[in-house]
Amino acid sequence: MKEFLLLPLFALFMAFCGAASAQAVDTNSPDTLIKTVTQQVLDQIKSDKQIQSGDINEITKLVNEKILPYTDFTRTTRLVMGRNWNTATPEQQKQIVEQFKMLLIRTYSGALAQVRNQTIHYKPFGASPEDTDVVVRSVVVNNGSPVELDYRLYKTPQGWRVYDIDVLGAWLIQAYQQQFNEQIQQHGVNGLVQFLMQRNQQLASSGKAS
């Protein structure tokens, strides 16, 4: 269940597509943004047999078109890396962002394929005009079991962008910080790049979601 929840954001979540969507996305309202994009993603999953079969190419396309335009995955990755981000070269930063994104897509692709009759309820949202960082809270009901799912967004000149999600009290950024830090401490930034690449290769060759 937890795996199902971590991608319908981003899938950090990662960044959601106005041009290809039948319904326009209002990026000036955090809660409206989340509600609109999440519903579009769920609707497409439920109507796309290739996604339901676990087709990684179609799932990646869904994430890139419907999710990433409304997230700031570079910010997510930078916060996961912490002070180590500034020790990486621009090329290393680019590699880590791309490999981390693919890792999340591959890790949770199987969960996305299982989306069927889940429903989402949103908690009352209130924010002041001067707020630049907010949390939109929701509850996903899966077979009668409610699971809390929260989205953290920040305000940009282009509108609000998602950069972190919280499932059952576990924020995505915090969940990966220790793992990334340990890899860098033991093997350096290049070691983290290699670790992510190898993990993605393992997932690709296994043909499994995790």
Measured CA to CA in angstroms, residue 51 lies from 45, 66, 104 at distances of 6, 13, 16
User: Which phi and psi (to 5°) does residue 200 adopt?
Assistant: -65, -35
Residue 200, Cβ neighbours under 10 Å: how many?
19
Residues ≥6 apart with Cβ < 8 Å to 59: 51, 105, 109, 112, 113
Q: Tens-digit pLDDT profile for the chain (210 aa)?
A: 344 334 444 433 433 333 333 456 788 899 999 998 888 877 877 777 887 777 778 877 877 777 778 889 899 999 999 999 999 999 999 999 999 988 887 776 666 666 666 788 899 998 898 999 999 999 888 777 787 889 999 999 989 999 998 877 889 899 899 999 999 999 999 999 999 999 999 988 876 444
- The three-class DSSP label of residue 78 is helix
3-state SS, one letter per residue, for 173-197: HHHHHHHHHHHHHHHHHHHHHHHHH
Residues ≥6 apart with Cβ < 8 Å to 152: 133, 134, 135, 162, 163, 164, 165, 166, 171
**What letter would DSSP give residue 71?**
B
Residues ≥6 apart with Cβ < 8 Å to 197: 99
- The DSSP annotation for 100-112 comes to HHHHHHHHHHHHH
Q: Domains (ranges, CATH) in the chain?
A: 2-205 (3.10.450.710)
